[in-house]
Amino acid sequence: MEFFNLHTHKFIKQANILELVNQYPQDFDGTIPFYSIGIHPWYILEERVETDLAIIESKLKDTNCIAIGECGLDKRIEVPMELQQVVFERQLLLAQKGNKAVVIHCVAAFQEVIETKKRLNISVPMIIHGFSKNNQVAHQLISNGFYISFGKYLLLNKDLEEVFKSIPDDKLFLETDNIEEGIEAVYHLAAKYKGISIAELQHLINKNFKSVF
């Protein structure tokens, strides 16, 4: 594996890239080699929650399912936070049961995500995807055991350079999410910011992959 893409919605099937492809319970594609599966807070339908959770639980023993998610909390949508919280917690407990990492979507709810991890005593790896916040938020997450993944906003926001450089090497992942640029572009910028070679960055990310997945 030359490149690991922590979170993408597009499976491009390149031999040198291992992609963790985001899947939704109702649109599951069994041909995708490595995937995460979860209920995104944007797409919670109360009448379908139990069915979706049952589908997620059915994938826990699938070796190609290497993470639950993306799931999480988002304060900027109309889905009630109480419902989001219940669905998030149910998925965290499934991840704990299946010993799967969790890919987290979080918007304006970092304190709630941290509190939930602590309260439920979640010990499986939890990765905040698409990080775009400041050093204070980043290091609060790191101190509470989270991993942080960078992608779209790293390419778009030069101000993230200092935040990115401050993340410990063993807590870092890279992704594309839904951008047009490939994971190689994210790696090249990340290596530049870290002041290391692409090969050194690949070694670092591969080591984290083995540790988490």
User: Is 203 annotated for ligand binding?
Assistant: no
CA–CA distance, 26 with 76 (Å, rounded to integer): 24
User: Is 70 annotated for ligand binding?
Assistant: yes
Six token digits for residue 44: 């919670």
User: Is 40 annotated for ligand binding?
Assistant: no
List the Cα angle 121/173/163 in 5-degree steps.
95
Q: Is the Cα torsion angle 127, 133, 139, 144 positive or negative in sign?
A: negative
User: Is 139 annotated for ligand binding?
Assistant: no
Cα dihedral 100, 155, 207, 107, rounded to 10, equals -30
How many CA atoms within 13 Å lie on the side-chain side of 134?
A: 2
Binding-site residue numbers are 70, 105, 129, 177
Binding-site residue numbers for a divalent metal cation are 70, 105, 129, 177
